[in-house]
Amino acid sequence: MLYQNIITIEPGKRSGKPCIRGMRITVYDVLSYLAAGMTYEELLEDFPYLTKQDILACLSYAAEREQQTFSFFKASAAGWEE
């Protein structure tokens, strides 16, 4: 899943947080709803302008950010060991 075509960041929108297709719903919003127990179907019903691809893009974006964070801390820890 290439989230780069779906997730947008605009400095003047939602304080520059990653949003979906330039709308005002953020990646954080979608992930929070999923973490609270909402299903894909419930999200799509409550937010009819979202698509399943939008939700998958949010998950893909979060996974990549997690990997980047892990890599950063791993590199930082290696620097302390020297």
pTM equals 0.80
> If 0-12 CB within 10 Å is exposed, 13-18 middle and 19+ buried, where does residue 80 land?
exposed
| Chosen CATH of 3-81 out of 2.40.420.20, 1.10.10.10, 3.40.50.300, 3.50.50.60 | 1.10.10.10
Residue 32's pLDDT is 98
Whether 72 and 78 have beta carbons less than 8 Å apart is answered as: no
| pLDDT reported for residue 24 | 94
Q: What is the pLDDT confidence band of residue 77, given thresholds at 50, 70 and 90? A: low
Instruction: Give 18-69 as a DSSP string.
Output: -EETTSS-BHHHHHHHHHTT--HHHHHHH-TT--HHHHHHHHHHHHHHHHHH
Q: What integer is the mean pLDDT of 41-60? A: 97
Q: Residue 7: enclosing H or E segment and its boundaries?
A: strand 7-8
Task: Spell out the domain ranges in the chain.
Answer: 3-81
Amino acid (one-letter) located at 26: T
pLDDT classification of 67: cutoffs 50, 70, 90: confident
* pLDDT, the chain, mean: 88
